Structure 1
Amino acid sequence: MLQKVRESMKGTFVATIVFLFFIVPLILTGVDGGSFLGSAVGTDAASVEGKAISNAELRRAIYMRKQRLLDQQGVDPNAEYLKDENLRGPVLESLTRRAALIVSAEKGGMGVSEQALDQQIRERPEFQLDGKFDAQTYRRLLSNLAFTPASYKAALSEDIILGQHAQAIELSTFSTEEELNDLVSLIHQKRSFFTIKVPKTLVEKDVKVSDDEINTYYEENKNTFVEDESLSVSYVELSAANIAQTIDIDPQAVKQQYEAELADFKKTQQYEIAHILLEEKDGQQALVDEVSQKIKDGDDFAELVSKYSDDSGSKDSGGNLGVMIADTFPEAFENAVYSLEEGQVSAPVVTEAGTHFIKVIAKKVTEPPTFDERKEAIADAMKLAEAEEIYAQNLDRLGELTFSAADLADAAKELNLEVKTTEPFSRNRGTDIAINSNVRDAAYSEEVLSNGYNSSVLEISNTASVVLRKAVHKPERIKGLDEVKEVVTQNLTNKKIDEALSEISSNLKDKLVAGESAEQLAKADEYEYKAFDKSERSSSEAGFQAVNKAFSMSLAEGSASYDHVVDRDGGHIVLGLTEIIPGHRSDMKDQQFQGLTAQLNGQNANFETSSYESQVVAEADIDIH
């Protein structure tokens, strides 16, 4: 929550948000403003302190939220929560919250100069052509999102204001010495305690469960043994990938395609380079001559870099600049590299930075793949291309053959398909083709489920479609006792074991409170006793359950505290907490303490930001239309 609040205030500049989540997807996918913005005319979606939130702005924000969710792995694009009507509420709430913060900041006198806004816009690479701001590109991209230059400037100004305000809160936050000491005391606290382990095997051999107990438990807990509704379907799948496996390609055609690729292949050269940079200074030419002579004499290049180079960024790595990317270095520099072979060093090369001596550490020339390396991929591509044509031709035929048919057999026979059957799946979850929500919706439709008809042709990818028919439907039901008797018996057994162990543990705690020795009590009944002195939270010696319980207990002054916990194997552990030792700064390294201070400052800033936002939003006059 706190992180979300900070992000909502601090964010990034509108320009970054717009281009990452709006314009870039639009450019790449060809979506224009009309596909999701609709008309900007009409009633505003909301107003905050008189500041309007337009329907166009709301639709933009919904589109952005949807795209961000779709970018996450494994998201079903047809999921209910991705529908516009379900996104509208949370997105509008976010917009009104943002608007309230903007109004508050503006009332506080915050603003952005026209000069700063213009500079931001001119420097955006999306608005540039050949490295320079292009007004036509700027207006065209804004138009795609129903922005005018004026409305975009206003949005950019608002986001800069929010960023400045959030930064002001963050920079004004601090932590007191008392807060830091309390935190260190808690984090590095140590505890001394003992454990007495009462094993599960001590009582489980004596536990018996009767048939009457089983019947009673089942009747009282029937609703926990519900088997969800499930459905399996028979289906035929028409796919270009499957068709491709049946196609044979003429080897001569593969050879011809390879030769066409070879004719278009362009060799590229990759250079890993290093350099010595001599910046302009008095006596420059004498220094250039000195280095030139040492290179001619065969002196070690890395040693010359260490002694002479003025490039601090590469000096400690032998002058290494990595692999040269074309058009990132001055033209004279790159031309010199292209003239060198591996291991050679250039003559002096003058650029605005100074004089360079450039060495090619490694030179790699990309060669075209051989026919043997490419023939399989070419053949596969040719098969798939032909298969896609056959797929398109057979798609309509699949619909004709399955429409009103009594089964899927005839369609499968004519189109050389196999009738398959899915594993059972629910309305909301499935595997294989039933992972697709459109498939599940069709399977559970009245047409297929109730009437027993074949489904229409369902596209599950660009080159694959299926037709379904109900196979086995199982309505939701309560499982019979015979089906769950083993589970019921085990539940009752575990419950009786836990009750018996709890009684033993309680008796032990009573004796400990009365002053009896823990070690003697354990020894008398042959329980396992262990003592842990000044144990840390991260200690694994006592086991997670015991340590977690020990650090959650309180300790009365001058006396021990007792409790018990269930171990991971089902046994009980009786604990006695005997000492709490507060942590101290001396337990931490300086670097750790500095990191803890920064972390606490960040948390305080989050709390302050959250408090500020809550107050602003609570006091704002928000009107949802």
Structure 2
Amino acid sequence: MAGMQNIREGLTGNLTKIIVIAIVITFVGSIGWAGFFSQGNANVIATIGSKQITNADLNFEAASQQFLLNQRFPDQQIEDEVLMEISIESLIRKFGILDFIENNGLYLADSFVFKELAKDEQFQENGRFSKQSFDAFARSNGFIPQDYLNRVKQDLVLDFWKQSLLKSSFLSEGEVQESLVLAEQERDITFMKLPVNSFSKEVETSEDTLLDFYNDNINDYVKEMKTRVNYLTLSVEDFKSIVEISDTDVADEYQSYIDEFDTTERKSVSHIMLNIDADRTSQEATKILENTKSRLSEGEDFSALVTEISDDEGTKDSGGSLGVTDGTLLPSEFEEALSDMSEGEIYGPIELNSSVHLIKLTKKEIPEPRSIESMQAQIKENLINETALANYGNLLDSASDMVFTMGSLDDIAKELNIKSIDSGLFSLNEASEDLNSAPILDIIFDTNVSNDLIELIETSNETAIIFERTDFQDESFIDFSSIKGQVSEDYKLMVTKRMTSEFADQTLADLREGQDFRSLAANTDFKLETYKGLKRDSSLLTSEAIANIFNLPRSKAGKVYGSSVSRNGDYLVYRLDSVNNQDTEMDPESKKGFFDYLSDQRVLAEYSELLFAVQENSKVTKSY
């Protein structure tokens, strides 16, 4: 653990909490894919150095990748084979770094990970970390708790490693000042602008030339596939506004709540645990806890002794808290003892299969039901939602039957008393919000579907669409005669761009052979212009043109040339005339912002280089 200490220095608790929460959110959002691969630690799929990638690792990674891909491409279906390939490659990169980190003596203990997880409320009981809550969370989402813990630990290690790069990267004052001078540098240029349209008069066309161009570029002249549908929208929201809930309904629901309310006494329990293992017998553990019990009777703090003595790393930072029991949740040996204990009393030692415990009854409480006044609004809202959902479900069942028994969507609309909507002709990129769903678009743009087919698609848990395609126009090539004018314009543009490029290349070649810029311009219809004080943030030229100009060597100012294409397709041929460094002073706040930007860029570059180096030097053995 000592190896990670320097990395953690300077990190705030909030940052670490964000890391942990982000990991948890990824798993929560992606559990639907968890069952694709087998669970457990068997079946090694690859080995990277001393690290083995198992099916359990692949299961986690596939779930994470599925979630991230769904966030980025919500309307696309990712094939299982593609997802598996992405996940395996991601794991190879990750485990290469983990192997590198481990070989350099960096690791995290479980106790530290539990401390970080305790910052998330869903893993807390009474404000303290609950190992039971953590294990229950993992199991409820289809994961083995230890596998889940290992994945969280891996992600924390990787994030701490990235943070260590940030902390170790260093920029000197001289480097910052030099970068500032370069950022504020100005350059003077002389340039000649070559408008594309200035060559258009030289372009000659004929029917055969245009027809050949049309045939060579036939895929540019395609009429988009279009479709037209008649559809109905079904939604839970449509029912919510018409549901009526009476005071009697609310009272009946509240009475059900009272009738079912569990008034069983709740007991908050903490413990001190010692393991029975090769290093400690049950007698030795019992003797230690007997002594601990004596210390407690003399007034020592229970939580302090938990930290000092307990082997349960998961509850050390929560005063040994085991959470709350209703008499059924803890081992029977604990529950039997608790039944006769008073609040604050300590009992034990109690021996289980492989451990010995002292338990403390920290609090007793009998739950009391809330008043009807405090619950009325929530009860009414719940009843409205439940009734609307039930009515929607009934409508959905009826509509499904009608899709198979009725001959037209108009008949269904009349039966359901819902107004149908005519989409009008539209292309794939013009789909309305109602119809912009992959399952719907796949059907209505399918060339093999007949126009009289009626379908019902559930677009979410609370919405559905019934639709009938009424018209369909397949993709087709546009006839040459109808777009001859457009073809002519496209052909002229292509030729003029080529002529402009060739003229610019020839001009550059002549300049580099020693011809005079002004004399060359005088022999053409183009004039020379100057740009004084060009800066890197100028908006008058493209970023590519500015980058090219600032890459010209200052030592050759006055005799070095370049060319670039402007935003509208015109060409610029230019000469670097001079380079001017400005005496720049920044206020402290701006200078700090500039320093932070340079530091971030350096860290990113160093991280990328190190990641590449680790991957290049990792020995990877694939077993699939």
Instruction: Give the TM-score, by structure 1 length.
Output: 0.62
Flag the 1:493–1:457 CA change in 2: closer, same or farther, 3 A. Answer: same
Q: Give yes or no for the alignment of 1:98 onto 2:98.
A: no
Which residue number corresponds to residue 412 of structure 2? Answer: 411
Amino acid at match of 1:66: Q
Equivalent residues in 2 for 1:435-474, closer than 5 Å = 435-444=436-445, 449-452=448-451, 454-474=453-473
Flag the 1:539–1:17 CA change in 2: closer, same or farther, 3 A. Answer: closer
SS of equivalent residue, structure 2 residue 40: coil
Which residue number corresponds to residue 138 of structure 1? Answer: 134
Once residues 41 and 248 of structure 2 are traced to their aligned partners in structure 1, the CA distance between those partners, rounded to angstroms, is: 55
Q: Pick from 132, 155, 173: which aligns with 2:169?
A: 173
Deviation at 1:481, TM superposition (A): 0.8
Contact 2:564 2:572 in 1 (8 A): yes
Flag the 1:482–1:180 CA change in 2: closer, same or farther, 3 A. Answer: same
Once residues 206 and 490 of structure 2 are traced to their aligned partners in structure 1, the CA distance between those partners, rounded to angstroms, is: 13
Root mean square deviation, CA, Å:
4.9
Amino acid at match of 1:467: I
SS of equivalent residue, structure 1 residue 98: helix
Equivalent residues in 2 for 1:158-197, closer than 5 Å = 158-175=154-171, 183-184=179-180, 186-197=182-193
Moved more, 218-227 or 198-207: 198-207
Q: Give yes or no for the alignment of 1:58 onto 2:55.
A: no
Flag the 1:142–1:220 CA change in 2: closer, same or farther, 3 A. Answer: closer
Contact 2:214 2:487 in 1 (8 A): yes
Which residue number corresponds to residue 605 of structure 1? Answer: 603
Once residues 66 and 162 of structure 1 are traced to their aligned partners in structure 2, the CA distance between those partners, rounded to angstroms, is: 20
Contact 2:45 2:53 in 1 (8 A): yes
Which residue number corresponds to residue 302 of structure 1? Answer: none
Which residue number corresponds to residue 488 of structure 1? Answer: 487
Contact 2:233 2:463 in 1 (8 A): yes
Once residues 67 and 51 of structure 2 are traced to their aligned partners in structure 1, the CA distance between those partners, rounded to angstroms, is: 27
Deviation at 1:221, TM superposition (A): 1.6
Deviation at 1:192, TM superposition (A): 1.0
SS of equivalent residue, structure 2 residue 105: coil
Cα-to-partner distance string for 1:569-600 (whole Å, 9 max, x where unaligned): 5655543321233x467465565555444444
Amino acid at match of 1:21: T
SS of equivalent residue, structure 2 residue 417: coil
Once residues 115 and 240 of structure 1 are traced to their aligned partners in structure 2, the CA distance between those partners, rounded to angstroms, is: 47
Flag the 1:408–1:92 CA change in 2: closer, same or farther, 3 A. Answer: same
Deviation at 1:536, TM superposition (A): 1.7
Deviation at 1:427, TM superposition (A): 7.0
Contact 2:49 2:620 in 1 (8 A): yes
Amino acid at match of 1:128: Q
Once residues 155 and 502 of structure 2 are traced to their aligned partners in structure 1, the CA distance between those partners, rounded to angstroms, is: 63
Deviation at 1:487, TM superposition (A): 1.9
Flag the 1:125–1:455 CA change in 2: closer, same or farther, 3 A. Answer: same
SS of equivalent residue, structure 1 residue 560: coil
Cα-to-partner distance string for 1:66-93 (whole Å, 9 max, x where unaligned): 3344456xx43x5223x54432222222
Equivalent residues in 2 for 1:381-420, closer than 5 Å = 391-403=392-404, 405-420=406-421
Equivalent residues in 2 for 1:77-156, closer than 5 Å = 79-81=76-78, 83-113=79-109, 116-117=112-113, 119-120=115-116, 124-145=120-141, 150-151=146-147, 154-155=150-151
Flag the 1:420–1:117 CA change in 2: closer, same or farther, 3 A. Answer: closer
Contact 1:238 1:466 in 2 (8 A): yes
Flag the 1:258–1:605 CA change in 2: closer, same or farther, 3 A. Answer: same
Which residue number corresponds to residue 25 of structure 2? Answer: 20
Unaligned runs of 5+ in 1: 1-5, 264-367, 369-373
Cα-to-partner distance string for 1:426-476 (whole Å, 9 max, x where unaligned): 679833433111112233558xx3455524421123344333333233333
For this pair of structures, how many residues does the alignment match? 484
Equivalent residues in 2 for 1:296-445, closer than 5 Å = 391-403=392-404, 405-424=406-425, 430-444=431-445
Contact 1:553 1:561 in 2 (8 A): yes
Cα-to-partner distance string for 1:11-63 (whole Å, 9 max, x where unaligned): 9677434433335x59xxxx799867864375244333353333233223322
Unaligned runs of 5+ in 2: 1-6, 255-372
SS of equivalent residue, structure 1 residue 457: strand
Cα-to-partner distance string for 1:319-342 (whole Å, 9 max, x where unaligned): xxxxxxxxxxxxxxxxxxxxxxxx
Equivalent residues in 2 for 1:568-587, closer than 5 Å = 568=567, 573-581=572-580, 583=581, 586=584
Once residues 42 and 575 of structure 2 are traced to their aligned partners in structure 1, the CA distance between those partners, rounded to angstroms, is: 70
Amino acid at match of 1:436: S
Once residues 615 and 404 of structure 1 are traced to their aligned partners in structure 2, the CA distance between those partners, rounded to angstroms, is: 65
Deviation at 1:168, TM superposition (A): 4.0
Moved more, 470-479 or 114-123: 114-123
Deviation at 1:99, TM superposition (A): 2.1
Moved more, 38-47 or 97-106: 38-47
Flag the 1:461–1:212 CA change in 2: closer, same or farther, 3 A. Answer: same
Contact 2:456 2:466 in 1 (8 A): yes
Deviation at 1:215, TM superposition (A): 1.8
Moved more, 451-460 or 200-209: 200-209
Which residue number corresponds to residue 350 of structure 1? Answer: none
Once residues 614 and 506 of structure 1 are traced to their aligned partners in structure 2, the CA distance between those partners, rounded to angstroms, is: 38
Flag the 1:231–1:129 CA change in 2: closer, same or farther, 3 A. Answer: same
Once residues 212 and 49 of structure 2 are traced to their aligned partners in structure 1, the CA distance between those partners, rounded to angstroms, is: 62
Once residues 381 and 115 of structure 1 are traced to their aligned partners in structure 2, the CA distance between those partners, rounded to angstroms, is: 41
Moved more, 466-475 or 567-576: 567-576
Contact 1:181 1:584 in 2 (8 A): no
Once residues 503 and 99 of structure 2 are traced to their aligned partners in structure 1, the CA distance between those partners, rounded to angstroms, is: 65
Contact 2:413 2:420 in 1 (8 A): yes
Contact 1:33 1:144 in 2 (8 A): no
Once residues 498 and 102 of structure 2 are traced to their aligned partners in structure 1, the CA distance between those partners, rounded to angstroms, is: 64
Equivalent residues in 2 for 1:491-502, closer than 5 Å = 491-498=490-497
Contact 1:62 1:88 in 2 (8 A): yes
Instruction: Give the TM-score, by structure 2 length.
Output: 0.62
Equivalent residues in 2 for 1:194-343, closer than 5 Å = 194-197=190-193, 209-239=205-235
Which residue number corresponds to residue 514 of structure 1? Answer: 515
Once residues 383 and 111 of structure 2 are traced to their aligned partners in structure 1, the CA distance between those partners, rounded to angstroms, is: 57
Once residues 584 and 607 of structure 2 are traced to their aligned partners in structure 1, the CA distance between those partners, rounded to angstroms, is: 32
Amino acid at match of 1:610: S
Deviation at 1:185, TM superposition (A): 5.1
Deviation at 1:493, TM superposition (A): 2.9
Contact 1:46 1:622 in 2 (8 A): yes
Once residues 392 and 237 of structure 1 are traced to their aligned partners in structure 2, the CA distance between those partners, rounded to angstroms, is: 14
Cα-to-partner distance string for 1:174-208 (whole Å, 9 max, x where unaligned): 34688656644543332111234466676656766
SS of equivalent residue, structure 1 residue 461: coil
